[in-house]
């Protein structure tokens, strides 16, 4: 079967709003932008065609006859089901046989309508650990790729994430730069990402012997909970993870479980019994479903998620784990979309915990793959096709200026405040809240 093709009307026409609230009569305005204009004072017919829940009787679809005024037509329909709809535009004088345009809009229930999509990368490395680029340059590069938020998460280093923030402290930008670190406690192989905490967890490991003693005591206190793990090292690892998670949360952040099937030392990073114990217990705030470009480990991590997620409600994030930005073909590809009220950290954190996030894996020459809750997947696929390409272009403008500001460009520094707010203004039009 040939792949489904979509008309590029999101680029060639202005259609606003594109996302509508369920059971609310909404006016949608359609205007040609980069194609032949409509005929002034001409009559047109617009039909609302549901993509999922339909009567299968075309005569019962909502239909409206409208007149073109100032190269625009406006229809008013009530959308009764959360799903994608197609608005079909016909001319009155051709017996309605051929469509002039097919326009895609999405109807949402109120809970999701009140949230916005924010793209982020939870796992990035600078030259302060084993990466190749500076924190500020990585932040600017993230914005150029269309991300709304990010954090540097260097191995055993928290200060680089602060440096990324400081690089742009004097500039008025929309990109949210959060703090982070990849956590490596003594005698613990499990990789953890501390994201958004206001202090480093590393301070708790300064005395290595004391830390090991503390975790062994914690392990002893968890004897009943750890009975399903046979290996003493696995029990120690689990206790160490719990301790670090607690400390990250105390410092206001979230702690994610990173790439358990990363192959190192002729084995996976940690054992499968421990990986399954961690995911089933829900001790971490989120599971890093994809990491880097190693398809072997990502495929296994995805399969395990699908085996467990319906029973254990596992929150998802993704990070590229990029160790360099230039000529890195997967930097900016894997990403997380969090549906939140805004891009402030407390709302990003809360909505990840509430399973309001999906992971996106772009594919070359094919539509991207999206993983998470089915409801969010449907909406995300729509956004990736109809909305986010324009969002990403706007982010790219800011990212280019951010990089030139780091190079000392005075005009770029001054221009940053001029492009601030582009994406939020765009979403106001998309959601009809302007």
Cα separations in angstroms, 319 against 106, 121, 157, 332, 352: 28, 5, 17, 9, 14
Structure tokens at 297: 């480990």
CA distances to 37, 185, 258 from 240, rounded to whole Å, are 65, 7, 15
Other Cβ atoms less than 10 A from the Cβ of 97: the count is: 7
3 state DSSP class of 427? helix
What pLDDT sits at residue 1? 47
Residue ranges with strand state E in 164-271: 176-178, 180-183, 191-195, 254-258, 263-264, 267-268
CATH fold of 116-419 reads: TIM Barrel (3.20.20)
- pLDDT for 93 equals 65
Domain 9-109 has CATH 2.60.120.620: no
For residue 50, the Cα-to-chain-centroid distance in whole angstroms is 26
Cβ atoms 216, 238 nearer than 8 A: no
What is the rounded CA–CA span in Å between residue 109 and residue 21? 6
pTM, two decimals, is 0.95
What SS3 class is residue 136? helix
Q: What angle do CA 222, 200, 314 make, to 5 degrees?
A: 55
For the chain, domain boundaries: 9-109, 116-419
Letter string b/e over residues 397-429, b meaning 16 or more CB atoms within 10 A of that residue's CB: bbbbbbbbbbeeeeebbebbeebbebbeebbee
Is there a contact between 149 and 343 (Cβ–Cβ < 8 Å)? Answer: yes
The predicted structure's pLDDT at residue 367: 87
Task: Answer whether 9-109 and 116-419 agree in fold.
Answer: no
Q: What pLDDT shows up at residue 284?
A: 98
Alpha helices in 313-370 (DSSP H): 345-353
Place of tokens 């012997």: 209
Walk along the chain (434 residues) in steps of 10 and give the mean pLDDT of each run: 64 95 97 94 94 80 95 97 95 70 96 98 96 97 98 98 97 97 97 97 95 97 94 96 98 96 87 96 96 80 91 94 88 93 98 97 87 96 96 97 96 94 97 88
Which tokens sit at 261?
Answer: 């099937």
């Amino acid at each position: 079967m040939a792949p489904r093709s979509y008309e590029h009307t999101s680029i060639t026409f202005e259609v606003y709003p594109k996302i509508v609230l369920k059971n609310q009569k909404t006016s949608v305005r359609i205007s040609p932008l980069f194609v032949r204009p409509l005929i002034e004072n001409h009559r047109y017919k617009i039909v609302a065609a549901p993509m999922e829940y339909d009567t299968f009787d075309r005569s019962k679809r909502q239909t409206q006859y409208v007149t073109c005024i100032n190269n625009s037509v406006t229809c008013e329909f009530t959308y009764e089901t959360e799903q994608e709809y197609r608005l079909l535009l016909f001319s009155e004088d051709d017996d309605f046989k051929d469509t002039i345009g097919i326009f895609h809009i999405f109807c949402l229930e109120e809970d999701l309508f009140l949230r916005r999509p924010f793209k982020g990368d939870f796992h990035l490395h600078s030259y302060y650990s084993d990466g190749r680029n500076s924190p500020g340059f990585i932040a600017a590069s993230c914005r150029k790729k269309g991300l709304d938020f990010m954090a540097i998460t260097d191995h055993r280093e928290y200060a680089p994430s602060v440096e990324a923030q400081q690089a742009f402290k004097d500039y008025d930008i929309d990109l949210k730069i959060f703090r982070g670190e990849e956590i490596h406690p003594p005698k613990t192989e499990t990789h953890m990402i501390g994201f958004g905490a206001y202090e480093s967890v590393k301070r708790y490991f300064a005395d290595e012997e004391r830390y090991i003693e503390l975790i062994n005591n914690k392990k002893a206190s968890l004897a009943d909970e750890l009975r399903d793990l046979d290996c003493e090292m696995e029990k120690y690892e689990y206790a160490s993870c719990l301790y670090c998670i607690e400390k990250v949360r105390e410092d206001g952040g979230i702690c994610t479980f990173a790439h358990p099937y990363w192959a190192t030392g002729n084995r996976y990073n940690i054992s499968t019994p421990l990986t399954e114990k961690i995911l089933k217990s829900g001790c971490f705030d989120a599971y890093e479903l994809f990491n880097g470009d190693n398809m072997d480990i990502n495929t296994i991590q995805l399969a395990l998620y699908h085996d467990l997620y319906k029973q254990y409600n596992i929150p998802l994030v993704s990070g590229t784990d990029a160790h360099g930005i230039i000529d890195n073909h997967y930097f900016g590809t894997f990403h997380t979309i969090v549906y939140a009220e805004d891009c402030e950290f407390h709302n990003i954190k809360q909505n990840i915990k509430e399973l309001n996030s999906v992971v996106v894996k772009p594919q070359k020459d094919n539509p991207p793959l999206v993983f998470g809750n089915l409801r969010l997947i449907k909406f995300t696929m729509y956004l990736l096709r109809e909305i986010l390409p324009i969002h990403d272009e706007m982010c790219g403008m800011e990212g280019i200026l951010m990089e030139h500001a780091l190079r000392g460009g005075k005009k770029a520094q001054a221009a940053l405040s001029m492009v601030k707010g582009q994406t939020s203004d765009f979403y106001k039009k998309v959601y009809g809240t302007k």
